[in-house]
């Protein structure tokens, strides 16, 4: 089973150091086709995608999550942190069922 990351070059460097396959995105890439190509990989178990790259294709990501449990799609912050204020606390609250 594979793990991949779709993200900016800086975030990709960190994941490459951990031995994770990465797909670097810049303003010239087509996010829809990159995402589709990644999820079409039958060996892919987990797909990390930075929030910045996920936002433009949010509906496509949600659709994929509803259709299939594999690959598990996980949004992560990029080098600048979460863009949506309170997103981390909200995630912790939902995951652990506690208020922080």
Domains and CATH numbers, the chain: 2-96 (3.40.50.10580)
What does the pLDDT read at residue 72? 92
Mean per-residue pLDDT, 38-59: 92
What does the pLDDT read at residue 6? 95
Q: Per-residue pLDDT for 7 more than 70?
A: yes
Q: How far apart are CA 54 and CA 31, in angstroms?
A: 9
> What confidence category does residue 44 fall into, taking pLDDT thresholds of 50, 70 and 90?
very high
CA angle 18, 79, 96 (to 5 degrees): 75
Q: Could you read off the pLDDT of 64-87 as tens digits, one per residue?
A: 989 988 899 999 887 776 566 556
Other C-beta atoms lying within 10 Å of the C-beta of residue 5: 26
The beta strand positions in 51-100, using DSSP E, are: 72-76
Mean per-residue pLDDT, 81-99: 63
Mean pLDDT, the chain, integer: 84
What does the pLDDT read at residue 99? 58
Q: How far apart are CA 55 and CA 49, in angstroms?
A: 10
Sheet containing 44-50, strands listed edge to edge, beginning at the edge strand earlier in sequence: 21-24, 2-7, 44-50, 72-76
Mean per-residue pLDDT, 34-60: 92
Other C-beta atoms lying within 10 Å of the C-beta of residue 100: 8
**Site of tokens 């779709």:** 6
Q: Do 49 and 76 touch, CB atoms closer than 8 A? A: yes
């Amino acid at each position: 089973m594979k793990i991949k990351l779709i993200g900016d070059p800086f975030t990709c460097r960190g994941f490459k150091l951990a031995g994770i396959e990465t797909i670097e995105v810049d303003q010239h890439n087509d996010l829809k086709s990159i995402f589709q190509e990644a999820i079409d990989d039958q060996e892919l178990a987990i797909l990390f995608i930075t929030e910045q790259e996920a936002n433009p294709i949010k509906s496509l990501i949600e659709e994929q999550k509803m259709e299939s449990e594999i690959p598990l799609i996980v949004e992560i912050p990029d080098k600048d942190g979460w863009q949506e204020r309170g997103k981390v606390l909200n995630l912790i609250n939902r995951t652990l069922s506690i208020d922080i």
